[in-house]
């Protein structure tokens, strides 16, 4: 289950030079990214004044798995919003996503664990097999009863062709975007991969995540306990700033290219 971390988020020093040196020295880097790295791609947030859920309260209902499963009307409204392009803007990777590419080119990127469901890391050029999408992806859809999985666009075509609540072509089950909803467990294999990546890294680089959503936030102290260095880049304080070797605050798409270089 997804839960929140309680923690102290007091001020910590901002140390860009130190962070840059730690990144340059690292040989096996596990990167953990959250919503902050996609903000500059124009991805709307959920609860802000122009948030997806503020403007479409029905979409928030659909984000809870039991509403989604039990209320056909919630599913129909959700599919209609998706088919009309009202849940996701046409977004592209930004300089923050691209700033990670040199890590892959240098062969020091062990794994990229992301809480984001936008596939912008893969679109920026990060190899798909390096990426663990711990909360799934909105660009694919799947059946809640069997392993059937397909491109989101294929399901949206069915919606546009007159199926308000398209079912699974294999077993007739309920279809949903391939994201982890509130009340839904993470994919065990993805969590294991993320934990292994945290254990094997010599640096955990956390970017644009509040690090307050469990269980994935727990890989941060886990990695630190196994001896990895910890660098946090985020616009706001996080509960783990006090155990970090360097904390850098600011706009991710501006800061990250400076920290990683080319």
| Active site amino acids | 135
Q: Rounded distance, CA 210 to CA 200, Å?
A: 23
* Radius of gyration of the chain, Cα coordinates, nearest whole angstrom: 19
Q: Rounded distance, CA 53 to CA 223, Å?
A: 34
Give the one residue of 54, 145, 212, 242 binding Zn ion; rule: CB under 5 A.
Answer: 145
Give the one residue of 154, 171, 185, 243 binding Zn ion; rule: CB under 5 A.
Answer: 171
Q: Which of the stretches 41-49, 89-97, 107-115, 169-177 binds Zn ion when contact is defined by CB under 5 A?
A: 169-177
Q: Is 155 in the site for Zn ion (CB under 5 A)?
A: no
CB of 68 to Zn ion, least distance (A): 15
| Number of residues lying near Zn ion (CB under 5 A) | 8
Q: Rounded distance, CA 141 to CA 155, Å?
A: 7
Q: Is 148 in the site for Zn ion (CB under 5 A)?
A: yes
- Tokens 């990670």 map to which residue? 100
Do 95 and 60 touch, CB atoms closer than 8 A? no
Scan residues 125-144 and list those touching Zn ion (CB under 5 A).
143
Residue 70 gets the label, from left (phi > 0), alpha (psi -120 to 50) or beta, of alpha
Q: Rounded distance, CA 246 to CA 233, Å?
A: 9
Do 68 and 183 touch, CB atoms closer than 8 A? no
Q: How far is CA 249 from CA 30, 31, 198, 208, 259, in A?
A: 19, 16, 22, 9, 12
Q: Is 178 in the site for Zn ion (CB under 5 A)?
A: no
Q: Is 169 in the site for Zn ion (CB under 5 A)?
A: no
Q: Is 165 in the site for Zn ion (CB under 5 A)?
A: no
Q: Is 168 in the site for Zn ion (CB under 5 A)?
A: yes
Q: Is 206 helix (H, G, I), strand (E, B) or coil?
A: strand
CB of 128 to Zn ion, least distance (A): 24
x/- binding map, residues 51-90, to Zn ion, per CB under 5 A? ----------------------------------------
Q: Which of the stretches 119-127, 134-142, 160-168, 215-223 binds Zn ion when contact is defined by CB under 5 A?
A: 160-168
CB of 143 to Zn ion, least distance (A): 3
Give the one residue of 24, 154, 170, 243 binding Zn ion; rule: CB under 5 A.
Answer: 170
Residue 18 has, within 13 A of its CA and on its CB side, a CA count of 13
Q: Is 243 in the site for Zn ion (CB under 5 A)?
A: no
CB of 150 to Zn ion, least distance (A): 11
Closer by beta carbon to Zn ion, 62 or else 143? 143
Q: Rounded distance, CA 111 to CA 121, Å?
A: 12
- Residues in contact with Zn ion by CB under 5 A are 143, 145-146, 148, 168, 170-171, 173
């Amino acid at each position: 289950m997804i839960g929140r971390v309680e923690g102290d988020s007091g001020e910590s020093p901002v140390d860009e030079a130190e962070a840059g040196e730690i990144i340059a020295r690292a040989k096996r880097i596990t990167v953990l990214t959250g919503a902050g790295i996609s903000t500059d791609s124009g991805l709307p947030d959920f609860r802000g004044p122009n948030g997806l859920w503020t403007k479409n309260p029905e979409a928030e209902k659909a984000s809870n798995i039991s509403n989604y499963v039990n209320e056909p009307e919630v599913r129909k409204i959700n599919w209609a919003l998706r088919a009309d392009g009202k849940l996701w803007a046409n977004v592209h990777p930004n300089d923050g996503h691209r700033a990670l590419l040199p890590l892959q080119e240098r062969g020091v990127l062990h794994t990229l664990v992301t809480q984001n469901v936008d596939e912008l890391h893969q679109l920026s050029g990060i190899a798909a097999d390096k990426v663990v999408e711990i909360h799934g992806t909105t660009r694919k859809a799947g059946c809640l009863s069997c392993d059937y999985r397909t491109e989101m666009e294929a399901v949206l075509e069915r919606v546009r062709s007159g199926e308000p609540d398209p079912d699974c072509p294999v077993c007739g089950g309920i279809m949903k975007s391939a994201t982890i909803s509130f009340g839904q467990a993470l994919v065990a294999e993805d969590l294991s991969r993320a934990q292994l990546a945290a254990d094997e890294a010599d640096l955990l680089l956390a970017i644009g995540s509040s690090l307050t959503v469990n269980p994935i936030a727990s890989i941060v102290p886990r990695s630190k306990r196994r001896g990895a260095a910890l660098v946090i880049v985020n616009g706001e304080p996080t509960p783990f700033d006090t155990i970090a070797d360097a904390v850098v605050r600011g706009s991710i798409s501006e800061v990250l290219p400076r920290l990683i270089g080319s």
